[in-house]
Amino acid sequence: RSAAQCSARRGFHASGARRAADNYYGILGVKREASQSEIKKAYYQLAKKYHPDANKDAGAKDKFIKIQEAYDTLSDEGKRRSYDQFGTADPTGGMGGGQGAGFSGFENMEDILSQMFGGAFSGMGGRARGPGRGNTGGFMSVGEDIEAAVTVSFMEAVSGAKTSVTITPVVQCEPCGGLGARKGAKRQTCKTCRGTGQAMFQMGGFHVAQPCPECSGEGSTISAKDKCSACQGRGRVRERKTVPVEIPAGCDNGMRIKLSGLGDVPIEGAGPAGDLYVRVRVMPSKTFRRKGSDIYYDLELPFTTAILGGSVRVPTVDGDVEVKVRAGTQPGDELRLRAKGVRKINSMARGDQYLNLNVKLPTDLSARQRRLIEEFADGGSSSSSGKDCDAKDSSTADKSTDKDSGEHTDGSSKEQKGGGFFSRIKKDFESFKKHSDK
C-alpha cells in the first residue's frame, strides 16, 4: 500500500467538504479590523433588536443565536485569531466540533511523537495509538473528545433546566461490528508486521516501534472485495444522535458541561470513547444583570419615597419581594438583598441581589405641587435666617433684661409647639405625596 493510501486512511472523513464557516464579521456588521469596543457596541445593538423577548418574528431567535455565537468568537482574542486564520474558532475545522472534528493533523508535540513512534511515547500524556482491531497486544487507544453548544434563557440558567443537543460522533460500524469486513468475511493477519501492528526501526542506536505502514497499526488487512459496504472497510462511521443535557442551577455563560463517554470512539484499536463537552450560551435578561452569582437590578424610586422612606415591590429571580427604603435615601445608593442571587455551582449557597437606587424626579407639576415645593424652598431660606438671628441674639444675651429673656423663651416654646422646621418639611412632603397619589 502506498504512503498516500495510508495517509488517506488515517485522515478518514465520513462527510464531504467542510461546512463553510459563518461570516461573523458580516453577522455583527463590522469590519475585520474592528476594535473590541466596536464589536461590543454592534453586538449590544443587534442583541437588543433581535432578543426573542422583544422581537416576535419567526426568525428572530435563530438570528439572535448567530449574533451570540459571532460575539462569543470575536470577543475572545484567541478564538478571533483562529477564526481569522482558519475561518473557524476551531482550527481542526470541525465535523462535529471541537477536538474530535477530524482525524488528520496533530494537537501537540505528544501526538506527533505518538504518531511517529506508536505507543513508545504514550506515557508522556498523549493518547496512545497502538495495535488495531483484533490485536490484543500493544497499547490501549482512547477516542477523541468532541464539543457542542446549547443556548438557554437567563432564567433557565438560574434555575436549572433539561435540554438536548444533537451530535455526530464517530462510532463503531454496526453491520461489521467495527471490524471493517462484510458479514462472513474475515480479516487476514498482516504479513508485514505478522499481526503485531508495529514496525521496528533504529534511531540513534535505539529500537523504536511505530504503527505498521501496511495495516496502519491494525495488525490485520482485508481485501477490497471483503470490505463492509456500510463503512468501506474502515470499521467506523459517524452517527447522528440527540443526547439529553441537564443544565445545573447557577450555570453561567461560557461554562462547559462534561458528558463522559459520548465522544468519538478510537479510530484504530479498542478502547474507551472520548468525552462530550457541551458549552452553554446564556441569553441576557431584560430585567437583571449578572456578575458571577450576584444579581443587579436598577430600581426607580419616587423622590417622595426617597425623602420620606417607605416600602416598594422589587422583582427577584424568585419572584417579587417588598423592600423597605429608609428616609433620606440618596440617588446612587445601593441596597443588598442577601441570598437573593444565583445559586453557586456545586453548592447550596447563593449570591446576593443588589439594588441600584435611581431617584425619579417629576417633570410635570400641578399648581398645588409647585406651591408645596416653593414653600419647602422658602422654608429652607427662613430656617437659615433664623439660625443667624439666634446666633446674634445669643452673643448679646448677657446684655438683655430678664423681660427680654422671658419673651425669647416664650418664642422658643411656640416654635417647638409648631413642630419645628423639619417636622413642617416632612408634613409638606407627605401632603405632596398624597396629592401626587390622587
Report the pLDDT value the prediction gives residue 223, as an integer from 0 to 100.
Answer: 84
β-pairing verdict for 276-282 and 146-152: parallel
Measure the CA angle with vertex 355, ends 351 and 358; round to 5°.
165
pLDDT at position 109: 44
Phi then psi dihedrals of residue 198, to 5 deg:
-130, 150
pLDDT of residue 309: 94
Cβ proximity of 355 and 325 under 8 Å: no
Cα separation, 112 vs 105, in Å, equals: 9
Distance of CA 157 to the CA centre of its chain: 9
Helical residues (DSSP H) of 292-400, grouped into ranges: 303-308, 367-395
Give the other-Cβ count within 10 Å of 162's Cβ.
9
Give strand pairing partners of 354: 296, 336
Backbone torsion region of residue 193, taken as left when φ is above 0, otherwise alpha when ψ lies between -120 and 50, otherwise beta: alpha
In the sheet that holds 276-282, the strands lie side by side as 146-152, 276-282, 256-259
Ranges of residues in the chain with a pLDDT under 70 are 1-22, 88-140, 202-207, 380-438
For residue 288, the model assigns a pLDDT of 97
pLDDT tens digit sequence for 365-422: 889 888 888 888 887 544 443 444 343 343 333 433 344 434 443 443 333 344 444 4
Cell numbers for 438: 390622587
Terminal CA-CA length for the chain: 93
Q: What does the pLDDT read at residue 327? A: 93
Q: What pLDDT shows up at residue 281?
A: 96
| C-alpha span between 12 and 416 (Å, rounded) | 95
Q: Please state, in angstroms and rounded to a whole number, the distance separating the CA atoms of residues 53 and 57.
A: 10
- In angstroms, the CA 224 to CA 229 distance is 10
